[in-house]
Amino acid sequence: MSPISNDKSRLDGKLAIVTGGGSGIGEATAKTFAEAGATVVVTGRRLEPLQRVADALGGHALACDVSDQAQVRAMFADAQAITGAVDVLVNNAGGPGPIAPVAEVDMGDWVACMNVNLVGAMYCLQEAARIMSAQRSGSIINMSSLMGIQGYPMRSAYVASKFALIGITETMARELGPVGVRVNALMPGAVSGENMDRILARRAEAEGRPVEEIERENYTDVAALKRWVAPEEVGRAALYYASDLSSAITGDKMKVDCGRF
């Protein structure tokens, strides 16, 4: 047998869907999976960045707004048609939501965040559960957050959505375990990139403090490794859950946070 066939980290012959795949963690995960041999489908609302990512890794780009159930169903059907299976779902689409105290937060913005981060995630989970149950195989990775296990000021919508994903992960692991489908959650800490830059800028405005001060106090100095997490590091953790390296692991949650404890 070739070395690759014995490598439990490989995803050869498997199809993986990565939602929110046009940038950041999603893009880095898609690249990691493609390098491990997977056929990768990247999805998101805007086709242009998705196509750029897909072209770079020889994958497929499918536009989909996860908060629209009809679009999610169509996207999963199109993805399944590529190889006849959906072997991995990285449930990564989401946004930071409103940044404001609970007493002042705009509830329209709050609900909009939940519709993407939680309801949209559920639409994807429902389709994946149906397909993978019929296959009697598959791996689902829910992208929660360090804020899925601890509350954080000014971020009630995001925190609520990410806490909920942890509970759904454990629920689905029990539901799908008997048919050989594994469900786990990743909990990234502060990940460097454009999304984090926007959050820092909004916090600085809301709190009237310099970006650098907020960054040190809340993100880098509080981490044991004293630095940001890189998107590629989250992608490698996702590969662990997607591959047979973690074949006995389900209902699990793993921090990828440079040691923020």
pLDDT digits (tens, 9 = 90+) for 143-182: 999 999 999 999 999 999 999 999 999 999 999 999 999 9
In this predicted structure, the answer to whether residue 226 has a pLDDT above a threshold of 70 is yes
202, part of any domain: yes
The answer to whether the beta carbons of residues 141 and 184 sit under 8 Å apart is yes
Q: Which residue has the higher pLDDT, 189 or 234?
A: 234
Based on the fold, state whether residues 221 and 149 are members of the same structural domain: no
59, part of any domain: yes
Kindly tell me the burial class for residue 204, based on how many C-beta atoms sit within 10 Å of its own C-beta (0-12, 13-18, 19 or more): middle
Based on the fold, state whether residues 126 and 222 are members of the same structural domain: no
Please tell me the distance from the alpha carbon of residue 48 to that of residue 237, in angstroms, as a whole number: 27
- Find the helix or strand (DSSP H, E) in which 136 lies: none
Based on the fold, state whether residues 175 and 141 are members of the same structural domain: yes
Number of domains in the chain: 2
Please tell me the distance from the alpha carbon of residue 64 to that of residue 1, in angstroms, as a whole number: 40
Based on the fold, state whether residues 217 and 121 are members of the same structural domain: no
pLDDT in tens, 111-135: 999 999 999 999 999 999 999 999 9
Q: What is the pLDDT of residue 87?
A: 98
Half-sphere exposure of 50 (CA within 13 A, CB side): 20
The answer to whether the beta carbons of residues 156 and 109 sit under 8 Å apart is no
186-190, 215-219, 252-256: the lowest-pLDDT one: 215-219
Based on the fold, state whether residues 179 and 212 are members of the same structural domain: no
Based on the fold, state whether residues 203 and 113 are members of the same structural domain: no
**DSSP-based three-state secondary structure for 15:** strand
- C-alpha separations of 261 from 150, 189, 220, 221, 222 in Å: 10, 10, 12, 12, 8
261, part of any domain: no
CA angle centred on 131, ends 185 and 95, rounded to 5°? 40
Task: Provide the domain limits for residue 178.
Answer: 3-190+230-256
43-47, 160-164, 197-201, 224-228: the lowest-pLDDT one: 197-201
Q: What is the pLDDT of residue 198?
A: 84
Average pLDDT over residues 226-237: 95
Based on the fold, state whether residues 31 and 156 are members of the same structural domain: yes
Q: What is the pLDDT of residue 206?
A: 83
Q: What is the pLDDT of residue 7?
A: 94
In this predicted structure, the answer to whether residue 247 has a pLDDT above a threshold of 60 is yes
Annotated active-site residue 152? The verdict is: no
Based on the fold, state whether residues 219 and 114 are members of the same structural domain: no
Please tell me the distance from the alpha carbon of residue 120 to that of residue 89, in angstroms, as a whole number: 13
Which CATH number goes with the domain that contains 176?
Answer: 3.40.50.720
The answer to whether the beta carbons of residues 163 and 170 sit under 8 Å apart is no
Based on the fold, state whether residues 92 and 131 are members of the same structural domain: yes
Please tell me the distance from the alpha carbon of residue 139 to that of residue 181, in angstroms, as a whole number: 6
Kindly tell me the burial class for residue 165, based on how many C-beta atoms sit within 10 Å of its own C-beta (0-12, 13-18, 19 or more): buried
Q: What is the pLDDT of residue 5?
A: 62
Q: Tell me the percentage of the chain whose pLDDT exceeds 90.
A: 84
CA angle centred on 139, ends 134 and 143, rounded to 5°? 130
Catalytic entry in 123, 152, 158, 241:
158
The answer to whether the beta carbons of residues 145 and 97 sit under 8 Å apart is no
In this predicted structure, the answer to whether residue 3 has a pLDDT above a threshold of 80 is no
